[in-house]
Each structure stands twice: as structure tokens, then as C-alpha cells.
Chain A
Amino acid sequence: MNKFLKLVTATTVLSLAAGSMAMAQEGPIVIGVQAPTTGSEATYGKDMFNAISLAADEINADGGLLDGRQIELISGDTACDPQQSVNAASRLASQEVVGVVGGYCSGATQPTLKTYGDANIPFVIVAANSTQLIPANPGNAVMINSTGDDQAKTALDFFEGKGIEKLAIVNQGDAYSQDLANLTRDAWTGAGHTVSAFEYVNKGEQDFSALVNKIRGSGAEAVFWTAYYADGGLLIRQLRQRGFQGTIAVGDGSNSPELFNIAGKAAEGVFAFSNPTADFLPAAKQFASDYQSKFGNAPGPYAPLAYDGMQLMAWAIDKAGSTDGDAIIKALNSADGQEWLAGPISFTPQHTLARSNFVVLEGQGGKWTRYEK
């Protein structure tokens, strides 16, 4: 009897194991999403996660990948902290994800490059764009966001075109906005103009009155805000409330319709540098309205890039024809102008985006419109 029981158990276990192996071949394609969904950056992390899940849902509704296999997402919460992001990355690697999409804070993204590199997992970095990521990339990652250099150049051209001489630059003391602020300052002074104020605000600070006075007192003709929309909205509001008449421009981290909710009327006539997302392509319009109806708020600045990142990963898996890491990495790097929401994607030998086509947007009637000189 006992023997019989053992036999039955053994057979059951074996057949279950065999079953699960078969499942692994045909089961869902698991993709990791690396984004901060807790902590102070959760606003942007959740945005990215939402956009990626929207893309995955669309792909699944269209019949999935590799003959009908569905995409399944696993969240890897980084909390924007380097330690926690390594934990999250190792967990994703241990769960044998086919690929990873995400990466928001550069500081928290960098140490994960090695983790994914060692496990040979393809990684599409959608938002983090520090130039420090480039040499740390073992070759399995691609960056689909333009780097700060491109944007600083766009800013230079734009402000020069406006005939501005004295520029005030304000950042938020995080890697992304400080980097962009420094690059813009160097470009601006390099072109022989004056940076009349170079300022910091802390994330979560609400009162910018002293700062606004300083900017006004410095005689700045224009203000460039290099960080994100939430605090940017408050700054714009207070600048206009206190009668600052000059030009205000914001970086791509502030390119969200939410800016208009926060800054209200003050956001009219504000300029933004951005990838040519936009609400100009029909697909992008559809995306914005789908996003709004599904999640109850307008897509954030990195939502279109996150969506594109997921689409690119799916495209690469399909092109590779398998879930093999090497094949997918090869396919990713072979991208030659694939385009979803944020412009055509192809890569330099350093695995960064091979184009710089920042455009200038202008806030009009509570939304972003294309600005032509």
C-alpha cells in the first residue's frame, strides 16, 4: 500500500513537472517592468507602469507574440533607490523574465545594468538618460530616450531664436535635471550669453517666492525649468503670479498635460522641449484617450516612451522569433526607424537613440501644440 502510494505520488509529481515544462514553452512571455512604484517618485513610476501595461494589453488583444503567447508583466519596484533597484533586478532575473522594460532614475538604473548583463536579459531603458549609463552598459541594454546633450542644444537654439540674452536655469537637484541644467549652462555661456541665475529647488517644496524674486532681480529674460511637471507647475504659477513677463520653457520631464492642471492659466504660452510625441499622430491621440479612460489621469511625460519601450521589446521578440536573450538583443539593436508614439527608433553603436529630433511645444488653450518659429 505504502509502495503504491509512493508510486502514485511520484507519477503525479513527474507529470506535473512535465506539464509545467510544456507550459514554459507555450506559457506567457514574462516581461519585467523596472520602475519606482513606491516612494517619492511613484507618480512617474506608476505612469510608466500604466503605459507599459496598456501596450501589453494591446499586443495581447492582437493575438500576443510568437504564435499566440500572451505577455505577462512583473513589477520590479525600485523606489528610485540604487539598493532596492538591484534587489528588484535580481528578483526579475531570478524569475527568468524574457526582457525588462523601464528604468526611470538614472542613479537607480545604473547598478542594474550589470545584473541584467550577467543574466543576458535584454533591457529597454525608456526614461533614464544620464550619459553615465552609456559606458556601464554591457551591451544588453538600449536607451530610447535622448540624452541631455540633445536637449541642451535644442534649448540653446530656442532661446537664441527668441533673442534672449540673460537666462535663469532652475533644476531640482536630482541627477536628470541637474545634468540638463549643467549642460544647458555650459552651452549657453559657451555661446557667449549670460546665465543670470542658476538655482535649485528641493523636491516637494511648494513655496518658490524667494526664488522668483531672485530670478526677477537678476534681470533674467527667460526661465528654463529642467525638472518635472509637478514642481514645475508650481514654479510657473508663482512666476506668473509675481508678474514675471519673460519667456518660460520647461524640459521634457515637464511635458505632460497634467502641467495645465497644476499651473492653470499660468501655463498658457509656456514652451516645452519634447520628443515629437504628441497628440499630433492619430496613434498618439488614441493612446492619450485610452490612457485617460483607463487610469483616470492624463499620461505623464514618460508614458509615451514607456509605451514605445514595450512595443519595441515586443517587436524585437517577434523578430527574434524566440525568447532567447541573445537573439532579442540582436533584434533590438537592428531597429531601423520603428515608430509608435515618440518618433522613429534606431540605435548608435553605443546603444543610444540615433536621432535628436526634439521639437518645441507651446501651451495653448490648456494643451500642448506644436510651436513653429
Chain B
Amino acid sequence: MDKHSPPTPTDVDEHDAGRAKPRHPLQKLYAAFESPGRRRALHLTILAILIVTPWISSQYTTVILTNALLYVVLCLGLNVVVGYAGLLDLGYAAFFAVGAYTVGILTQQFGVNFWAAIPFALMAAALAGVIIGGPTLRLRSDYLAIVTLGFGEIVRFTARNLEITGGASGLSHIPEPSLFGWHIDSSIDFYYVFVVLAVLAYIASQRLFDSRLGRAWLYVRHDEDAAEAMGINRVATKLAAYVTGAIFGAIGGIFFSVNLGAISPESFSFQQSVLILLAVVLGGMGKIPGVILGAFIVVLGPELLRDFGTLRLLIFAVLLLLIMLFRPSGIWPEKRS
């Protein structure tokens, strides 16, 4: 993009950082959570709420929270690609599908133990990350969008056409896993599994953000040429982003498949990819708490509007539009410069 194009995330970040004090009331609120002491308290509170919730609420709440936590994992993964490395991805559901199908095929058709199948699923996803990352490294973001979209559609059509993936009906009777004698099968069991996954994804995201690689992503996002001049391997850095994102997505998919017990191509559509991207941008690209907030909004929003019947998505879309108009950089934007 040339220098006269509309400001990129980078420009806006710098703009925000240039302000003396956070002026917006929301920014004040967010800033209140930034101090390390409060942060720990907040973490503990959230963890406590997550642990007790299933015992004091209905099964419905547990189920939709499980769903939201799955989205937290997926969104944090996409956030690595989009938020950290600045690469647009419209086919993220492909990685989600690769994880889910690898585990589904291995456990259900070949009788492999669930835990033994996980490394294979992760390898398959990493490979998919390299395959999708490879041809896109030279592309501008808009072309990246269509290549990733195309890749996502290729994966979905392949799943629909092949026999081993069960065709359009998909795979069913994927066995539920056991862990040290704990048979994971009730909705509360899966809820806790996803709590653990979301917490791990959160910690991993934070670590990646602070790591050498995280800074390399930042440089590449801001200025590829300058980054390369400083000795950052552009190709390896970008590929690392795709592979990391792919692994997050695959982990989501792996546990998604055993949670539902059945998977079919319609779970991995373009709309799914778009929804995940929507959550990331809505919450605030690159900002971990923002992304988590976004994940909760896209899952809980349409659920809370169920009483409106057919109109629920219309109302949700209008709300989305309003949020974007009032918070153009996302609800809780990233400010690191």
C-alpha cells in the first residue's frame, strides 16, 4: 500500500500511542486492568468464575460457554496470523477442519487412541500452514485474502467429496476420550476441557507476544523491508505465524470433533472463517483481552438474541455495525508501538 492510502493498523496504533493520556472512558477502564497487581486479581477472578459457573447455571449456559471458549482458542490462533503478523486470512476454518478431520478419521476409522492421534493432527495442521503460507508470502493482503479463502474452500470441498471423510454426511460416532480413567463425556466435562485449552491458548498467546518471534512479527507487520534489513528472515517469520495459527486452529478442531461426536463439512464453511475473523477484528486485533471479548460477543450475541427468532441475526448485524462505527479499531485495541 502506498503512503497515501487510508491509515493501516500501524498508523492508527502510532496515532493512539501519541496521545498523552487515554481520554476515552473505555480506555481508562482498560488501563485500570493493565497494572500487574490488578491483572493477577482479574485473572484469579475470571478463573474462579469459569470454575464455578457450571455448578450454578443451567446446562444451556455451560454449552454456550463451551462454545465461546472454543472460539477463544480459535480467535487467539487467528490473532497470531492477523493481529501479530498482519497477514489477512479468510480461510482459517481450514485448519480447524484439518484438526477435526485428522482426529475423526484416525480414531473412528482406524481405531487410534484419541491422545495418540493428536500429534498427527498437529503435524497435519502445521503442514497445512506451510502449504497455505508458502504461495502467499509474496502477496499483498487483498490477494492473500482470496488465496486463503480459496484454500479454505478447497479443504471443505475435499472433505465433501472424499469417502474417507464421510462425504457430505461427515463422520459420526467419534469416540469420546478418556484421561487417566476420567471418561470425558458430559457437557460439564467438555466445558472444563475447553477452560483448560482456553487458558493454555491465553498463556501461549501472551508468551508469543513477548517473545523474540513476537517482536519479529511486529517488525514484519510494520515494515517488511526494514525488518529484513535488520536481519529478520521474512519468509520464516511469516511461515511461523501461519504454522502457529494452524496449530491453535487444529487444537480447537481436535476437541470440537470429540465434543460433538460428529463432524461434517458445514462446520467448516467460509462463514465460519469469517465469523472468527469478525471476532478478532471486533475485539481488537493483536490485543489478547480484546480478542477474547470478541470471541464471547460473536458466540453469545446471537444466543442472547434467540427470542427474536428469524430477526436475531439482523439485530446482531446492526449491533455489530454500531460497535464498529463507534469503536473503529475494535473494542479493546492494541496500542504497542
Q: Which residues of A contact B (CB under 8 A)?
A: 37-39, 42, 46, 75, 77, 80-84, 86-88, 90-91, 93-94, 105-108, 110-111, 114-115, 118-119, 130, 132, 135-136, 173-175, 177-179, 182, 200
Asked if A87 and B63 make an inter-chain contact with CB atoms under 8 angstroms apart, the answer reads: yes
Asked if A132 and B172 make an inter-chain contact with CB atoms under 8 angstroms apart, the answer reads: yes
Q: Report Cα–Cα, A110/B263, bound state, in Å.
A: 10
Contact partner of A107 among B59, B67, B161, B264, CB < 8 A?
Answer: B264
Asked if B64 and A87 make an inter-chain contact with CB atoms under 8 angstroms apart, the answer reads: yes
B310 CB–A CB distance under 8 Å? yes
Asked if A108 and B266 make an inter-chain contact with CB atoms under 8 angstroms apart, the answer reads: yes
Q: Which residue of A lies closest to B264 (CB)?
A: A107
Please give, as numbers and ranges, the residues of chain B lying within 8 Å of A115 by CB-CB distance: 63, 187
B27 CB–A CB distance under 8 Å? no
B223 CB–A CB distance under 8 Å? no
> A-facing mask of B263-274, CB < 8 A → 1, else 0?
110110000000
Asked if A90 and B266 make an inter-chain contact with CB atoms under 8 angstroms apart, the answer reads: no
Asked if B312 and A136 make an inter-chain contact with CB atoms under 8 angstroms apart, the answer reads: no
B173 CB–A CB distance under 8 Å? yes
Q: Report Cα–Cα, A91/B62, bound state, in Å.
A: 10
B167 CB–A CB distance under 8 Å? yes
Asked if B266 and A38 make an inter-chain contact with CB atoms under 8 angstroms apart, the answer reads: no
Asked if A42 and B310 make an inter-chain contact with CB atoms under 8 angstroms apart, the answer reads: yes
Please give, as numbers and ranges, the residues of chain B lying within 8 Å of A174 by CB-CB distance: 168, 266
Please give, as numbers and ranges, the residues of chain B lying within 8 Å of A83 by CB-CB distance: 67, 256, 260, 267
Please give, as numbers and ranges, the residues of chain B lying within 8 Å of A84 by CB-CB distance: 302
User: Given the interface contacts A80-B266, A94-B60, does A110 sit within 8 Å of B172 by beta carbon?
Assistant: yes
Central interface residue in A38, A179, A200, by most chain B CB within 10 Å? A38
Asked if B262 and A90 make an inter-chain contact with CB atoms under 8 angstroms apart, the answer reads: no
Q: Report Cα–Cα, A130/B264, bound state, in Å.
A: 13
Q: Which residue of A lies closest to B186 (CB)?
A: A118
Please give, as numbers and ranges, the residues of chain A lying within 8 Å of B168 by CB-CB distance: 107, 173-175, 177-179
Q: Which residue of A lies closest to B167 (CB)?
A: A178
27 chain-A/chain-B pairs, Cβ below 8 angstroms:
A37-B309, A75-B306, A77-B306, A77-B309, A82-B262, A82-B267, A83-B267, A86-B67, A86-B260, A87-B64, A87-B303, A88-B306, A91-B60, A106-B169, A107-B168, A110-B172, A110-B262, A114-B261, A115-B63, A136-B173, A173-B160, A175-B168, A177-B168, A178-B168, A178-B169, A179-B168, A200-B161
* Size range of the chain B interface in the assembly: 20 to 34
Central interface residue in A37, A81, A175, A200, by most chain B CB within 10 Å? A175
> A-facing mask of B150-164, CB < 8 A → 1, else 0?
000000000011000
Q: How far is the CB of A116 from chain B (nearest CB, A)?
A: 12
Asked if B59 and A93 make an inter-chain contact with CB atoms under 8 angstroms apart, the answer reads: yes
Please give, as numbers and ranges, the residues of chain B lying within 8 Å of A94 by CB-CB distance: 58-61
Q: Which residue of B lies closest to A45 (CB)?
A: B310
Please give, as numbers and ranges, the residues of chain B lying within 8 Å of A111 by CB-CB distance: 260-262
Q: Which residue of B lies closest to A37 (CB)?
A: B310
Contact partner of B63 among A90, A178, A179, CB < 8 A?
Answer: A90
Q: How far is the CB of B117 from chain A (nearest CB, A)?
A: 20
> A-facing mask of B304-319, CB < 8 A → 1, else 0?
0010011011000000
A-facing residues in B4-22 (Cβ within 8 Å): none
User: Given the interface contacts A87-B64, A91-B60, does A38 sit within 8 Å of B313 by beta carbon?
Assistant: yes
Q: Which residue of B lies closest to A83 (CB)?
A: B67
Asked if B60 and A93 make an inter-chain contact with CB atoms under 8 angstroms apart, the answer reads: yes
Central interface residue in A90, A94, A173, by most chain B CB within 10 Å? A90
